[in-house]
Amino acid sequence: MGDDTNEQCEDLSSSMLDIKNLHVDVDGKPILKGIDLSIGAGEVHAIMGPNGSGKSTLSYVLAGRDGYEVTEGSIAYEGQDLLELAPEERAARGIFLAFQYPVELPGVPGTTFLKGAVNAQRRHREEPELDAMQFLRLMREKTKELGIGDEMLKRAVNVGFSGGEKKRNEVLQMALLEPKLAILDETDSGLDIDALKVVAEGVNLLRSPDRSMLVITHYQRLLDYVVPDHVHVLANGRIARSGGKELAHELEAKGYAEFTKDAAA
Amino acid sequence: MTVVEPDVDPLRAAAEAKYKYGFVTDIESETAPKGLNEDTVAFISAKKGEPEWMLEWRLRAYRHWLTMQDPEWARVKHPKIDYQDSYYFSAPKSKDDAPKSLDEVDPELLRTYEKLGIPLHEQEMLAGVAVDAVFDSVSVATTFKKKLEEAGVIFCPISEALQKHPELVRKYLGTVVPYSDNFYATLNSAVFSDGSFVYVPEGVRCPMELSTYFRINAQNTGQFERTLIIADKGSYVSYLEGCTAPMRDENQLHAAVVELVALDDAEIKYSTVQNWYPGDENGKGGIYNFVTKRAACRGRNSKVSWTQVETGSAITWKYPSCILQGDNSIGEFYSVAITNNMQQADTGTKMIHIGKNTRSTIISKGISAGRSQNTYRGLVRMQPGASNGRNYTQCDSLLIGDKCGAHTVPYIESKNRTASVEHEATTAKISEDQLFYCRQRGLSDEDAVSLIVNGFCKEVLQELPMEFAVEAQKLVGISLEGSVG
Amino acid sequence: MQQDIQGEAALVALAAPDQGAPWLTDLRAQGLERFRAAGLPTVRVEAWKYTNLNPLRHDAWQAPGEGTNVRGVRDTELSADLRVVLVNGRLRPELCRLPRVAGLKIDSLARLLAEAPDELAALLPADNDDLPMFDLNTALMADGYVLRLEENAKIDALIEIVSLAEDNEVPLTYHPRHLIVAAPGSSVTVIERHVEGRHRYFVNGATQMVLQAGANVRHYRTVEEGANAVHTHTMLAHLAEDASLECFNLVLGGRLTRSEAHVALSGRGARVALNGAYGLAGREHCDNTTVVNHIAGETSSRQVFKGVLDGKSRAVYQGRIAVRPDAQKIDGHQLSKAMLLSDEAEIDTKPELEILADDVKCSHGATAGELDKDALFYMRARGIPEAEARAMLIHAFLADAVEEVSHDAVRTALANRIEEWLATKTSAEGAAQ
């Protein structure tokens, strides 16, 4: 027992994110039933799984959304208890969630929104806030890097955006906010192959040794472009199997039937 | 164990939203005796050195007022007002009559403006705005007179206009809001103290935005401003009205009347940011703002646009309206009304279409928080002669918290086949998805609410002149402080 | 002035001391007292701002007699196997078709009041404020139908209620009171047809509905009263949890009609649809007033009213959606659309929202305007004569409202009825041109 604890501590110190035996209820119904997952700095992990397996629940719990009740287990982020923190505190510490369904904010210009977000993080890091000109410069730099036009940012956030535009906007926000842990929740859903490539290239540009990523997806095709270090299969609220990137290909060939059957049994 | 602790639930708990501008300026007042009777009316008129006809008009109003009852139809509650327990006239003492430049203005007063963030000389220099500052009912400073004079624009206290341009005042005063119009307007007609007068001559585009800052200061002094703006043929004027008031415990009545007249091809843009003391979080104190604002679009192709951002006052009761008499005339009403804590607002507009091809647009955004009640009340009427009249109304309410109320009471009347009326209204609570999205990006509860509400109000705020828009955006955030915890 | 009081006084004078149960005598007395205190509503009363009851004020109203002078009941597309016939507000068993149906009881109110009044003691008293016409009905009600459903009774057959007015030389008034009590899990569909009478009459009906948990009631009305008739009706409905009420009010005739519906959604999951359409001409006046009270959470309501106005007619729609404190997760939607066909017609709309909870989605929309000129031109350019094109557009406009009716046969019948009404109207218009 004593040795175990020590090992865990060591894991913790080297991990960006450490999820232990996580149980989560939504509306009183258990959705996650004991997740264990550890993500090291700079690692890219993919979570795959059939619909309803709890993938999005996991992303919302990490970001701190209301209505997701952790009944058991823990999440440590940079060695600190994540569950104690409000969503904006998590964001300030570098957790970024690319939403599966990015929310529309009518009347709120993209630049106003992002400047507020960037400065909130800078305040947290005790860095001076950017003024309008400095922010504009930063924004131009990032849009250029990503090859994404900045006309999206002049419009109200996500309002009237196509599916592809919404997802590109999420990646652009990620580039500006430079998270330590990026969670991509079904970022590929609803994208055609061209849009998928643009988004994937953006994500790849942001890969770096001190940035971890958790890529949640139903299909393997995104993983052709964003190649993960580890792949986990989430089924029925548990991680049913873990492996390297080849696991994604295996799933593509065999489907999830094996795992859903296990779950039912 | 929950993911998010209750104390950071953005929709719960209500802390106090502090009134930033709460302080009192100490200036001696020259005050009429308490109470209201024909002598009070005569005292006010004499104090102003008014012509005889003006006194008679006031007295007619007073006698008519005696026959009237406080209106009870609005969705507001307050203890009955004792009109005999108020002072009806007070003026700050000045050394010799009116000051001729800023140097002559009471330094105490100037300091007050500075605390409010509206330093007069800075405005004069930077913004190019002429300020006719009403302080305790009497205008004490008027700037940029010269530039306006060159353009032929008359912009002065109405008391001065009664001396210098009595024929203009007599021709238009009470023609849009008659002295018998409603309880508060009639009271105002009897005892109005001062206010602004604007006349823009034919074909003149007023060279600057005109602005007046109203303040309520002396204890127990009802405020009865009277504003009259006339835009002659083919002229244009933009008028800004901004209000802040010092913190007081006793309720203060404010019953202003604003009359606008637009002749052929003339346009008036009237913008208001109202941030009077709303009372504390238990509903103690605060201003009663019972205002009658009405515009007559008398001329062909005339246009009047009302924009208001109402965040203050314990009770707001106002319906800036347009009577669209001239063919092709246009009326607009853009409104943001925010109520928090125990505030009550019953506000909206009336668009009366009389002439042919008249058009009106109503955009109303109501935001309720705390235990407040927020009502939109509006009338759109197409008279039989309003052929091809058009109205579009969009009326949205946003609820923050489950102890407040949002109400919509539109009256839509059409007596013309070719007229078209379109009305849409929605009520919903502030979206949890939007709040969470903002917070995931690192914004605090309050910043998120401010951002979302500003977005909700954008169509209205963008109608404000630039210098007002910035102030108004800040006010939106300040007004909702404490509405989320 | 003297004349004004005549109509009201005549109505009050019709109230007679009741020989029935003490609770009933009290109830009538209270109704009369409240009506006398309020008087016939005037336009100074907010709820009656747009509907002037002047057509009631000048007549010496009398109660009907036996009602022998009736023509037979014509069968229409809406006729059904189960039929209740009322003449002058009185249920006439000899004209009814009432085969025995399991789980369903249909009685005459008059008979129940005479023979088993206590069965109604808990049902008739209504908790109401400011409803003077309902109070008048309470004071003067003589008969009506009482429809009761047993638990889980699912009545598939359509029930037709035909309301006839006797031809008579004197101005008659009657005040039928109907009751629908649906036990838990029961369901029924009722169509009421109010058929035109030639003479002057004033019918002031009231319907009380109690829908217990999970009950499902569809209640449709067609109002085609005579050109001299005044028709006022007040519906009060209480819905328990998961109960569902669907109403449709089609008004195609009557000098003055006012249909008021007050619905209390008292149980979680209750939902109501109050819809209607109207076609008006001449000096007809049609008022639809709906009040929905969301008392319990997770309740929903919907109102859609569409109408066309010709001649000097006037339509009124007043709709209020009220959400009580703590009634969360509410959906309330309201739409009023009016098409003006003449220069002298008028539409007045007052859609109100009164919201005292925050987790709500409520909306209302209102439009008024004329026929779509572009559409008309397009059709004429394709060779369709103007009158025909107009009729097609008007029909499309009204038929859209009828789409809200979920009962297939009734929906078809109502759409056909509108088409017939349009045919007579447009042919008259064509003749006039």
Cβ of residue A28 closer than 8 Å to a chain B Cβ: no
Contacts A83 to B, Cβ<8 Å: 1, 3
Using CA of residue C58, residue C425, residue C420, residue C303, what is the dihedral sign?
negative
Cα B323 to Cα B341: distance, rounded to the nearest angstrom: 35
Inter-chain CB proximity A88 and B444 less than 8 Å: yes
Question: Has residue C351 got a pLDDT over 80?
Answer: yes
* CB neighbour class for A194 (10 Å; exposed up to 12, middle 13-18, buried from 19): exposed
Q: What is the pLDDT of residue B136?
A: 39
**A-B contacts (CB, under 8 Å):** 106
Residue A261 is predicted with a pLDDT of 63
Q: Which residue of C has its CA nearest to B399?
A: C358
Per-residue model confidence as pLDDT tens digits over C176-190: 999 999 999 999 999
User: Residue A263: pLDDT above 70?
Assistant: no
Nearest to A106 among B440, B441, B456 (CB): B456
**Chain B nearest CA to A251, separation (Å):** 32
Query: C42: pLDDT confidence band, cut at 50, 70 and 90?
Result: very high
User: What confidence score (pLDDT) does residue A153 get?
Assistant: 81
Nearest-neighbour CA in chain A from B154: distance (Å): 38
A168: confidence class by pLDDT, cuts 50, 70, 90: confident
Best of B440, B460, B461 to mutate (most A CBs within 10 Å, chain A) = B440
Helix axis angle for A132-146 and A110-124, nearest 10°, is 100
Which of B413, B419, B429 comes nearest C358 by C-beta? B429
Give yes or no for A103 touching B (CB within 8 A).
yes
Question: DSSP letter string over B56-124?
Answer: HHHHHHHHHHHT------SS---PPP-GGGSB--EEE--SSSS-SSGGGS-HHHHHHHHHTT--HHHII
Cβ–Cβ below 8 Å for B436 and A83: no
pLDDT score at B195: 85
pLDDT single digits (tens) A29-43? 999 999 999 999 999
> Is there a contact between B302 and B233 (Cβ–Cβ < 8 Å)?
no
The two three-digit tokens of residue B251, written as one number = 């309720």
Per-residue confidence (pLDDT) for residue B107, from 0 to 100: 59
Closest CA to B345 of B288, B385, B293: B288
Is a pLDDT exceeding 80 seen at residue B142? Answer: no
Select from B4, B443, B458 the Cβ nearest to the Cβ of A117.
Answer: B443
Chain A residues lying within 8 Å of B484, measured CB to CB: none
Contact B457 A107 (CB under 8 A): yes
Q: What is the pLDDT of residue A121?
A: 84
What ipTM does this complex have? Answer: 0.88
Is residue A71 within 8 Å of A61, Cβ to Cβ? no
Q: Provide φ and ψ at C23, rounded to 5°.
A: -60, -35
Question: How large is the average pLDDT for residues C65-80?
Answer: 75
Beta bridge partners of C351: C319
Which residue in A has a C-alpha nearest to residue B8's C-alpha?
A: A86
Question: Which residue of chain B has the CA closest to C49?
Answer: B411
Q: Which of B411, B417, B427 sits opposite C353 (nearest CB)?
A: B427
B-chain residue closest to C46, CA distance? B73
Q: List CB contacts (< 8 A) between C367 and chain B.
A: 420-423
Read off the tokens for B112: 């007050």
> Across chain B, what does the average pLDDT equal?
81
Give mean pLDDT, residues B51-70: 93
Dihedral sign for Cα A215, A217, A219, A221, please. negative
C326 touches chain B (CB under 8 A): yes
* A116 vs B contacts (CB less than 8 Å): 438, 441, 443, 447, 451
**Closest Cα of chain B to C356: distance in Å?**
4
Higher-confidence position of B251 and A263 = B251
Q: Which residues contact C321 (CB under 8 A, 6 or more apart)?
A: C292, C294, C301, C332, C334, C352, C353, C354, C355, C362, C364
pLDDT of residue B347 exceeding 90: yes
> With 60 as the cut, is the pLDDT of residue B287 above it?
yes
C282 — contact with chain B (CB < 8 Å)? no
> What's C360-379 look like in SS3?
EEEEEEEEEECCCHHHHHHH
Residue B127 has pLDDT above 60, yes or no: no
CB contact (8 A) between residue C350 and residue B409? yes
Angstroms from B314 CA to nearest CA on chain A: 28
Q: What is the mean pLDDT of residues B365-376?
A: 95
Helix, strand or coil, per DSSP, at residue C32: helix
Cross-chain Cβ contact B397/C353 below 8 Å? yes
Q: Which chains touch B (3 or more CB pairs under 8 A)?
A: A, C
A104-154 pLDDT, tens digit each: 888 888 888 888 888 888 888 899 999 888 988 988 888 888 777 777 888
Q: C367 and B421 in contact by Cβ < 8 A?
A: yes
In this prediction, residue B354 carries a pLDDT of 97
Confidence label for B30 from pLDDT (cuts 50, 70 and 90): low
Range scoring the smallest mean pLDDT among A209-223, B106-120, B375-389, C217-231:
B106-120
With a cut of 60, say whether residue B3 has pLDDT above it.
no
Q: Among A20, A25, A88, pick the best mutation site for testing chain B contact (most B Cβ within 10 A).
A: A88
Mean pLDDT over residues B230-259, rounded? 79
pLDDT at position B216 over 70? no
Q: Which pLDDT band holds residue B93 (cuts at 50, 70, 90)?
A: very low
Cβ of residue B53 closer than 8 Å to a chain C Cβ: no
CA torsion B5-B7-B13-B18 (nearest 10°) is -150
pLDDT at B67 over 50: yes
Angstrom CA distances, C43 to B349, C50, C270, stand at 22, 6, 34
Q: Are β-strands C256-265 and C230-239 bridged in parallel, bridged antiparallel, or unpaired?
A: parallel
Confidence (pLDDT) at A111: 86
Query: If you measure CA to CA, which chain A residue comes closest to B433?
Result: A103
Closest chain B residue by Cα to residue A99: B437
For residue A97, give the chain B residue with the closest CA. Answer: B440
Whether the per-residue pLDDT at C87 is higher than 60: the answer is yes
The pLDDT score that the predictor gives to residue B244 is 52
Percent of chain C with pLDDT over 90: 69
Go through chain A and tell me how many residues it has.
265
What does the pLDDT look like over C10-36, one tens digit per residue?
898 888 766 678 899 999 999 999 999
* B402 contact C CB<8A: yes
Residue B7 has pLDDT above 60, yes or no: no
Predicted confidence at residue C18, as pLDDT, reads: 66
Chains that touch A (3 or more CB pairs under 8 A): B
Which tokens is B396 given? 């949205």
Q: Is the pLDDT of residue A12 over 60?
A: no
Give the pairing type, strands A230-235 and A238-243.
antiparallel
Residues of C in contact with B414 (CB under 8 A): 338, 340, 346-348, 368
Tally of CA atoms within 13 A in the half-sphere of B133 that contains its CB: 25
pLDDT the model gives residue B141: 44
Q: Give the pLDDT mean for C389-413.
A: 91
Q: Tell if the CB–CB gap between B417 and C341 is shorter than 8 Å.
A: yes
Cα–Cα distance measured from residue A24 to residue A64, given in angstroms and rounded to the nearest whole number: 12
Sign of the dihedral through C-alpha A17, A21, A27, A31: positive
Q: Distances in Å between the alpha carbon of A222 and those of A148, A194, A248, B273?
A: 19, 12, 10, 52
Chain A residues with CB under 8 Å of B436 CB are: 63, 65-66, 87, 103
Average pLDDT over every residue of B96-109? 52
Of B366, B357, B204, B342, the C-alpha closest to B286 is B342
Average pLDDT over residues C332-339: 94
Give the residue, C397 or A262, on which the prediction is more confident: C397
Residue C43 forms contact with B (CB below 8 Å): no
pTM score of the predicted model: 0.84
- Contact list, A70 vs chain B (CB under 8 Å): 1-3
What is the pLDDT confidence band of residue C129, given thresholds at 50, 70 and 90? Answer: confident
Cα separation, A6 vs A12, whole angstroms:
10
C360 and B399 in contact by Cβ < 8 A? yes
CB B439 to CB A177 under 8 A?
no
pLDDT-derived band at C274 (thresholds 50, 70, 90) equals very high
Interface of C with B in 186-245 (CB under 8 A): none
Please say if the pLDDT value at position C290 is more than 60: yes
Q: Which residues of B touch A184 (CB under 8 A)?
A: none
- Judge whether residue B364 has pLDDT over 60: yes
Q: In this model, does residue A96 exceed pLDDT 70?
A: yes
Say if B412 is an interface residue toward chain C (CB within 8 Å): yes
Scanning every residue of chain B, which has its alpha carbon at the shortest distance from the alpha carbon of A75? B3
CB contact under 8 A, B412 and C350: yes
Calculate the average pLDDT of chain C: 90
Name which of A52-56, B359-363, C295-299 the model is least confident about.
A52-56
> Given phi > 0 = left and psi -120 to 50 = alpha, else beta, which region is A54?
left
For residue C350, the chain B residues in CB contact (below 8 A) are: 409-412
